[in-house]
Structure 1
Amino acid sequence: MNWEVIKKKDGKNGTGNWGGFDLPLDAVMEAASSWKRQVGSEQKLWLCWNISHRWSLLQQRMVLEAGWTPVVGHDPNCQPEHLTTLPGAIFIDFGKELDLKAVWPHFPLEFAFLWAPKLAFWHADLLMPMDKMHKFAAQFDALEDGQMAAVHSTGGLRHFFNRKTHRYWELLGCTTEAASRDQFEKGCGWWRNFHSHPNGPVGEKAQRAAYWYDSGVGISYWEQRYKQRVVRLNERELTAGHCSEIGHKNYKKSVHKGLELDLNFDLDAVARKMDLEEWLPPKN
């Protein structure tokens, strides 16, 4: 592997953008060894990003109920009032050793092969009925090392036949150590501007630069270029429980995504809609 320092462009080292990353990769490897120690012998990890206290607790409860171990991370720019971790869950400050000022879930996801045998993941604003949660958990459990699953997006109907815009995104999915390692070694992965990946073949840089810049395009390229099979999850199955700006006509902006989530969506109402009252944490 080419553990070189990437030229700095925007300094947002923790946001998952190879075009703006300037940390030495051996420092990331050292940090990841700490993450690996913290997860210990756990084999089925599920990344839960805490941007809002009660939403995070509900997600942690759902993951535990599905038989997986929640790994709770957070972004210092979106600091919840509480960072409570339930018994059986693991809190990791992914930006601590690297002194990251912003940390998105894409950061630890890109380096999953360094710390997680199997890592499921989902958006902080995604909920679903428990029967569906159990279904996806079983599907992820059945993945063999080297396989992965994620939600596929074409970028809209007008881009359906343009594979350069296609991507997998982190709404819901699961990766394995071997799949994550192969993606990294081949210069593909979750971060934006995958054409700037340090392991990308020099002869392919122009070809890769013709692809869309967004996160997860590298996963789609890995599938296309190296004939890898990614299990495609159906986004329509998740739409009802995806509490995001997408499709929200009167969405209100705030200073960070956690406040926006609570401002635009009533967790109790969403939980009732998903039949999740049993796992709903009490209000403080």
Structure 2
Amino acid sequence: MQFDTHLHWETLLKAADDWKAALDGVEFPWLVWSVDEDWAYVQQKMVSDAGWTPVVGFDPRAGAPKKLTPDAILIDFNKHLQLPIVYMHLPIDFIFHFAPRMAFFHSDLIIRPDKMRWLSELFKDLPDGEIAMTNLTKIKNPFLQKLLVRPFKLFELAGCITRGASQDIFDKGCSMWQGWAFHPNCPDEAEFNKRLKKHWDHGAGLLYWQKRYGGKVTIIQEHFLDEGHFSRTSKDNFKVISDNNENRNTGLDLRSNYNVYELAQAFGIKSD
């Protein structure tokens, strides 16, 4: 997701009213973003078994998944917006408006049960006003590797954002989205020009919130989760099928490379 002039806060917050109603009384929601129904189902099982409530959103290109765990809550985050492509980053920016905290992870991530239990406890114990996110260490692009001399973004491979932190991030004009410098709450032109010099990608705005404003972040080491990250950036034998740009179809890539139920069995996840 990136900032676009036709998206207004009033429209987004009105949409978030529906999300809030759907999650009324849910203490520990975990966002599962469906780009492929079977991958999303395995992730729902992971979340349920860890003691959280799966909140299932979906890329409109994939459609609403029909395969849901009994405790899953399906939300059409795109109902009011009608965008052609929607990433999980859309609702993450508005956690303060609809949930006490929300955990999330990439659609291409499988996590062993013992590691899910560890993440569950970490996220449940996270004080309000703080976040937990993966750091970024593994990347194939030689140009971007040079940027890793200093961190340039927090990585949404897995994470959790509390309501207080989400509100503070929003108020200070930072964001999970791409192009976060264009956030309408950016305080002034001088700050905008400063932000333009920073990295533009997803998660860079959260790193800026940490460094510039003292935001409290618990880092989850990428290598802790990397074995289950089945993506073009993590697996050398990954065959790229879809476009390598903002139109990337992660579901198509995943289906073309893996059988998620075989992976789940190998990782000790009960998916039946």
The TM-score normalised by the length of structure 2 is 0.90
Note the C-alpha offset of 1:157.
Answer: 4.8
**Identity of paired residues, percent?**
35
Which of 205, 230, 237 does residue 249 from structure 1 map onto?
A: 237
Q: 1:137 aligns with which of 120, 123, 145?
A: 120
Q: Deviations over 1:159-205 (max 9, x none)?
A: 23445xx1112110000001011001001120111111100121201
Matches within 5 A, 1:20-169: 20-79=4-63, 82-153=65-136, 157-163=145-151, 166-169=152-155
Deviations along 1:44-93, one digit per CA (max 9) or x if unpaired, are 1100011111211111111111110110000112337x433221110000
Of residues 94-103 and 220-229 in structure 1, the stretch that sits farther from structure 2 once superposed is 94-103
CA contact (8 A) 1:55 1:124 kept: yes
Given that 2:55 and 2:74 are in contact with CA atoms closer than 8 Å, whether structure 1 keeps it comes out as yes
Which digits, 9 at most, give the CA deviation of each residue in 1:243-275, with x for residues without a partner?
111233351304832121011012233123211
Deviates more, 1:152-161 or 1:50-59: 152-161
Contact 1:78 1:257 in 2 (8 A): no
- The answer to whether structure 1 residue 208 and structure 2 residue 195 are counterparts is yes
Q: How many Å separate the matches in 1 of 2:96 and 2:106?
A: 20
Change (3 A) 1:158 1:274: same
Counterpart Cα distance in 1 of 2:240 and 2:256: 7
Distance 1:239 1:21 in 2: 36
Q: 2 CA distance for matches of 1:23 and 1:266?
A: 37
C-alpha distance in 2, partners of 1:248/1:219? 28
Give the secondary structure class of the aligned counterpart of 2:135.
Answer: strand
Relative to 1, partners in 2 of residues 1:216 and 1:250: Cα closer, same or farther, differing over 3 Å?
closer
Alpha-carbon separation, structure 2, partners of 1:100 and 1:160: 33
AA aligned opposite 1:212: H
Matched residue, 2:246: none
Q: Among 179, 192, 197, which residue is 2:165 paired with?
A: 179
Q: 1:250 to 1:162 in 2, by over 3 A?
A: closer
For the structure 1 residues 161 and 257, does the alpha-carbon distance in structure 2 shift closer, same or farther, using more than 3 Å as the test? closer
> Is residue 227 from structure 1 mapped to residue 214 from structure 2 by the alignment?
yes
Letter in 2 for 1:64: S
Q: Which is further off, 146-155 or 256-265?
A: 146-155
Asked if 2 retains the 8 angstrom alpha-carbon contact of 1:95 and 1:101, the reply is: no
> Matches of 1:213 and 1:99 in 2, distance apart?
25
The reply on whether 1:271 has 2:264 as its aligned counterpart is: yes
RMSD value over aligned CA atoms?
1.7
Is the CA contact 1:50–1:83 (under 8 Å) kept in the aligned structure 2?
Answer: no
Per the alignment, residue 8 of structure 1 pairs with: none
Name which of structure 1's ranges 246-255 and 225-234 shifts more when overlaid on structure 2. 246-255
Letter in 1 for 2:271: L
In 1, the alpha carbon distance for the partners of 2:205 and 2:242 equals 31
Q: Determine whether 1:189 maps to 2:175.
A: yes
- Residue 136 of structure 2 aligns with an amino acid whose one-letter code is S
Structure 1 segments (4+ residues) deviating >6 Å:
none
**Structure 2: any 5+ residue segments left out of the alignment?**
244-248
CA drift of 1:120 comes to 0.1
Aligned residue in 1 for 2:226: 239
CA distance in 1, matches of 2:228, 2:87: 21
